[in-house]
């Protein structure tokens, strides 16, 4: 999921994912990887609701803190 926009992206190959990440890095945007369950849960939500949902989830860095208290500022 793109943290800046809340868009969910799906990639069929690692090569496509690497190319997309490279493009996002050039635009100074970042992705957070979602599990299949999270992607299915978030898909019906609007982009804005998805983005705010992520704020209250455990941080992807593994610190155990909420994303908004840990790495949110480095993504936004």
Query: What are the pLDDT digits (tens) for 12-22?
Result: 899 998 898 88
pTM over 0.85: no
pLDDT at 15: 93
CB 1 within 8 A of CB 75: no
DSSP string for residues in 14-56:
HHHHHHHHHHHHHTT--B----HHHHHHHTTS-HHHHHHHHHT
pLDDT at 76: 58
- Greater confidence, 75 or 55? 55
Specify burial of residue 25 (Cβ count, 10 A radius: 0-12, 13-18, 19+).
exposed
Q: Dump pLDDT digits (tens) for 30-45.
A: 788 888 888 888 889 8
- Greater confidence, 29 or 19? 19
Q: How far is CA 76 from the centre of its chain?
A: 11
Instruction: Indicate whether 53 pLDDT > 90.
Output: no
């Amino acid at each position: 999921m793109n943290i800046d926009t809340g868009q969910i992206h799906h990639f069929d190959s690692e090569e496509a994912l690497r190319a997309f990440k490279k493009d996002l890095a050039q635009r100074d945007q970042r992705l957070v990887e979602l599990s299949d369950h999270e992607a299915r849960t978030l898909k019906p939500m609007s982009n804005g609701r998805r983005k705010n949902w992520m704020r209250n989830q455990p941080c992807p860095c593994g610190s155990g803190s909420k994303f908004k208290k840990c790495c949110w500022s480095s993504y936004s």
